[in-house]
């Protein structure tokens, strides 16, 4: 057994002992018995998630057993959050993303962006950042990195740039950074955003619409992509100014391999554009179609792919269940488990108790507290899952905000967005691991640039979430 696994097992055992202790000892002053038991479950689940001592999905299902057993809630109440509408918003988005992957529409979109960027080294780095970032708004970041890496490697190979270390490193890191940053812009782009939306709706009645989130997070995502380009293309490495010889021909050749736009690609594109248009324009239809919601739109778009034919023969559909089996069910269960835990924390008085303790920090301005939250999550998520980190800390941070008399939105958004900012270690995110596995990115460069990116994200997120966004009209709503 490795030292890391020993530490994980030790942390899990300590958390289990604490949970059992809450069952046989009186609660602290001001906290109910149910709240004390909820705290025990919360500590146990949080440690299991962060230490990865058990599979994420298995830990996420613990409320179904521990809450009724400990008298925290009935199994019906514990199971309710697993059907939160935000889970189906995420599921519908996954259906569309899988269809895009099945017919290579995402690859065509990425190549179109890269070709438009041009063949100068700095421009090509920007093109890979933009392509990875845009596709990651709609497709899982792991799938984006897997798709973009062969394109990047083929560019390096055909142009004879494999040995041009600085450019190869910058180009591949652009794929990793873009895959992580782009997903921050939409509710379906990354699991922490979906967890955030479900948590706020379930516990505080705050509904975050697809367009509303984009208005808040898209400028931030674009800004971080620009910062990443500056570091990769202008500061960290010096790249020659002249265009890459043969670059245009290579990109043209890759585009020709895809052939003409197929009927299946057209069908998926129509569903994708119609779904995105309804997400963006839903506010204009609410008066006439009050039952329309982002989750309904996502599921309608996703399910339609199982019925629409992929060609004129009508022998196959745009999406089949064989492809849909790749749905990350563990992530959906993780969202449900986090929401179930958060609901118990809210309903059993634990949130209020945490808020009362947090009020001791009331002498600090809200912006400073948001900055501290961002700093903690940015560095913690280097060694933990971003979804697990979000599920663990959202209830705590939101309760702290309420205890300080602040709206929970900014503090909760700080957790969700900061959890997507892990750029330093190969194990921090799947995109980092994928590009590191290519052998073209030295660990020292990934860590050196990742530290800078982490600090940049801390500063930018702190300013945007803690100071600029709260001053935007309509932010509180």
What are the structure tokens assigned to 211, written together? 């367009």
Cα separation of 324 and 294, whole Å?
21
Question: Is the residue at 349 inside a domain?
Answer: no
Q: What is the DSSP letter of 262?
A: P
Residue-averaged pLDDT of the chain: 84
Question: Is the residue at 95 inside a domain?
Answer: yes
pTM exceeds cut of 0.85: no
Query: Nearest to residue 462, comparing CAs of 418, 420, 429?
Result: 418
- Number of domains present in the structure of the chain: 1
At residue 4, does pLDDT exceed 70?
Answer: no
Tell me the mean pLDDT in the region 224-244.
84
Domain that holds residue 297: 85-324
Cα separation of 88 and 241, whole Å?
47
Question: Is the residue at 310 inside a domain?
Answer: yes
At residue 475, does pLDDT exceed 70?
Answer: no
Tell me the mean pLDDT in the region 152-173.
77
- 232 CB contacts (<8 Å, ≥6 apart)? 125, 129, 170, 173, 174, 177, 449
Q: Is 27 helix (H, G, I), strand (E, B) or coil?
A: coil
Question: Is the residue at 354 inside a domain?
Answer: no
At residue 18, does pLDDT exceed 90?
Answer: yes
At residue 462, does pLDDT exceed 90?
Answer: yes
Tell me the mean pLDDT in the region 5-30.
87
At residue 213, does pLDDT exceed 70?
Answer: yes
Name the least confident of 142-151, 310-319, 400-409.
142-151
Question: Is the residue at 264 inside a domain?
Answer: yes
Write the DSSP assignment of 124-152 as a string of letters.
HHHHHHHHHHHHHTTS-HHHHHHHHHHHH
Cα separation of 358 and 140, whole Å?
35
Question: Is the residue at 37 inside a domain?
Answer: no
pLDDT the model gives residue 194: 87
Question: Is the residue at 157 inside a domain?
Answer: yes
Question: Is the residue at 458 inside a domain?
Answer: no
What are the structure tokens assigned to 249, written together? 């021909």
Tell me the mean pLDDT in the region 110-115.
77
At residue 160, does pLDDT exceed 70?
Answer: no
pLDDT tens readout for residues 35-53 = 999 999 988 988 888 777 8
CB 201 within 8 A of CB 84: yes
pLDDT the model gives residue 424: 85
At residue 474, does pLDDT exceed 70?
Answer: no
């Amino acid at each position: 057994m490795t030292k890391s696994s020993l530490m994980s097992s030790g942390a899990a055992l300590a958390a289990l002992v604490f949970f059992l202790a809450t069952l046989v000892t009186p609660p602290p002053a001001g906290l109910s018995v149910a709240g004390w038991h909820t705290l025990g479950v919360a500590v146990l689940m949080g440690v299991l998630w962060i230490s990865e001592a058990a599979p994420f999905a298995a830990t996420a299902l613990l409320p179904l057993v521990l809450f009724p057993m400990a008298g925290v809630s009935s199994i019906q109440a514990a199971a309710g959050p697993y059907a939160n509408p935000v889970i189906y918003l995420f599921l519908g988005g996954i259906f569309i993303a899988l269809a895009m992957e099945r017919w290579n529409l995402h690859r065509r979109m990425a190549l179109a962006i890269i070709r438009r960027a041009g063949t100068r080294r700095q421009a090509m780095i920007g093109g890979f950042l933009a392509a990875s970032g845009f596709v990651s708004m709609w497709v899982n970041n792991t799938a984006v990195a897997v798709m973009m890496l062969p394109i990047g490697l083929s560019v390096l190979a055909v142009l004879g740039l494999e040995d041009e270390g600085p450019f190869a490193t910058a180009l591949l890191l652009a794929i990793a950074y873009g895959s992580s940053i782009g997903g921050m812009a939409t509710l379906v782009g990354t699991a922490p955003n979906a967890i955030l939306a479900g948590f706020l709706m379930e516990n505080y009645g705050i509904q975050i619409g697809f367009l509303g989130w984009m208005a808040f997070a898209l400028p931030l995502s674009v800004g971080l992509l620009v910062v990443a380009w500056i570091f990769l293309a202008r500061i960290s490495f010096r790249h020659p100014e002249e265009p890459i010889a043969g670059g245009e021909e290579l990109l043209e050749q890759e585009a020709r391999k895809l052939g003409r736009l197929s009927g299946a690609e057209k069908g998926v594109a129509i569903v994708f554009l119609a779904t995105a248009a309804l997400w963006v324009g839903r506010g204009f239809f609410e008066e006439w179609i009050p039952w329309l919601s982002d989750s309904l739109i996502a599921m309608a778009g996703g399910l339609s792919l199982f019925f629409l034919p992929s060609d004129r023969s009508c022998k196959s559909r745009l999406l089949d269940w064989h492809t849909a089996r790749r749905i990350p069910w563990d992530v959906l269960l993780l969202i449900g488990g986090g929401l179930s835990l958060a609901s118990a924390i809210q309903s059993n008085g634990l949130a209020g108790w945490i808020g009362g303790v947090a009020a001791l920090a009331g002498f600090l301005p809200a912006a400073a507290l948001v900055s501290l939250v961002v700093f903690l999550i940015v560095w913690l998520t280097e060694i933990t899952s971003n979804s697990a980190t979000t599920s663990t800390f959202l209830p705590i941070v939101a309760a702290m905000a309420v205890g300080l008399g602040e709206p929970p939105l900014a503090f909760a958004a700080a957790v969700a967005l900061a959890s997507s900012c892990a750029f330093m270690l190969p194990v921090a995110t799947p995109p980092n691991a994928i590009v590191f596995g290519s052998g073209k990115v030295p660990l020292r460069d990934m860590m050196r640039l990742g530290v800078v990116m982490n600090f940049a994200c801390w500063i930018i997120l702190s300013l945007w979430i803690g100071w600029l966004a709260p001053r935007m009209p309509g932010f509180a709503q």
